[in-house]
């Protein structure tokens, strides 16, 4: 910050300081993009594809002449399916292989606190499937919310809001987050000039890491409490 006397004598000085701050931010962004490109070149080439979801529901009215109890009660069935568009590969991936979990929240007022959630979570022994089905009794419209958690490879994390604002990153891999932190440290000259192993925290780092000074080697461990699961895909649907 400039002394108030200088700001009064040279009104343009604050604009100059703002420009320098913007330049540092721009350098940081360019370096992060350069690191992203370098990391991408090391990994096998990936292709972007669209995964189309199909959500459908059918209604089965009650039958007065049904022989079994199931047929005498009105019910509905919800199906969640999907496929890759323009997928030319011979080995088609199952729909479930793209997700870590799927949760369907039904109207709690209709189905009660013990029967309104339908959950699927990936396990080491998961058998992949082309879709999910849910069947429940009922003959009225039902509001439901689908929460789909993508199975990121490599794993991605959502950053603590303070760290996200500082680095300009919302969700990324752990290695990319550490690279962005290192770039911020270099851009803002936080590395100790006498002991390169240490980082002298600026006010933002102090708020986030709750210390005035730390070793760079400590950052991966300190990140543990600052990285959260990514946001799920949220879809609202009426059955």
Contact present, 201 and 209 (Cβ < 8 Å): yes
Mean pLDDT of 67-92: 81
Query: In this structure, what CATH number is given to the domain that contains residue 206?
Result: 1.10.245.10
Look at residue 41 and tell me whether its pLDDT is greater than 70: no
Q: Supply the pLDDT for residue 195.
A: 87
To the question of pTM greater than 0.85 for the whole model, the response is: no
Contact present, 183 and 166 (Cβ < 8 Å): no
Look at residue 2 and tell me whether its pLDDT is greater than 60: no
Q: Supply the pLDDT for residue 81.
A: 95
Statement to judge: residues 75 and 34 lie in one domain: no
The span from the CA of 205 to the CA of 7, in Å, is: 28
Domain span at 27:
4-45+155-228
Statement to judge: residues 219 and 131 lie in one domain: no
State the total domains in the chain: 2
Contact present, 122 and 151 (Cβ < 8 Å): yes
Rg (CA), the chain: 26
Q: Give the pLDDT confidence of 101-123 residue by residue, as tens digits.
A: 999 999 999 998 888 999 999 99
> Could you tell me what percent of the chain has a pLDDT over 90?
58
Q: Give the pLDDT confidence of 155-200 residue by residue, as tens digits.
A: 999 999 999 999 999 999 998 999 899 999 999 999 998 888 899 9
Instruction: Examine residue 204 and state whether it is found in any structural domain, yes or no.
Output: yes
Q: Is 201 left (phi over 0), alpha (psi -120 to 50) or beta?
A: beta
Mean pLDDT over each residue of the chain, to the nearest integer: 86
């Amino acid at each position: 910050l400039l002394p108030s006397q200088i700001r009064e004598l040279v009104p343009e000085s604050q604009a100059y300081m703002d420009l320098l701050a913007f330049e540092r931010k721009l350098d940081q962004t360019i370096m992060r993009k350069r690191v992203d490109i370098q990391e991408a070149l090391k990994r096998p080439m990936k292709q972007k594809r669209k995964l189309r979801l199909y959500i459908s529901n059918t209604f089965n009215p009650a039958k007065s002449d049904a022989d079994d109890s199931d047929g005498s009660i009105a019910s509905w069935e919800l199906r969640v399916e999907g496929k890759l568009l323009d997928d030319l590969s011979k080995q088609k991936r199952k729909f479930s292989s793209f997700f870590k979990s799927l949760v369907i929240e039904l109207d709690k007022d209709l189905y009660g606190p013990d029967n309104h959630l339908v959950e699927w979570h990936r396990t080491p022994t998961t058998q992949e499937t082309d879709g999910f089905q849910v069947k429940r009794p009922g003959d009225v419209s039902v509001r439901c919310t689908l929460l789909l958690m993508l199975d990121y490879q490599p794993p991605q994390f959502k950053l603590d809001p303070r760290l996200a604002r500082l680095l300009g990153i919302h969700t990324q891999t752990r290695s990319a987050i550490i690279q962005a932190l290192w770039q911020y440290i270099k851009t803002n000259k936080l590395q100790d000039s006498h002991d390169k192993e240490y980082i002298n925290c600026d006010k933002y780092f102090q708020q986030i890491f709750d210390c005035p000074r730390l070793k760079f080697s400590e950052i991966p461990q300190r990140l543990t409490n600052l990285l959260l699961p990514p946001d799920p895909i949220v879809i609202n649907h009426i059955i």
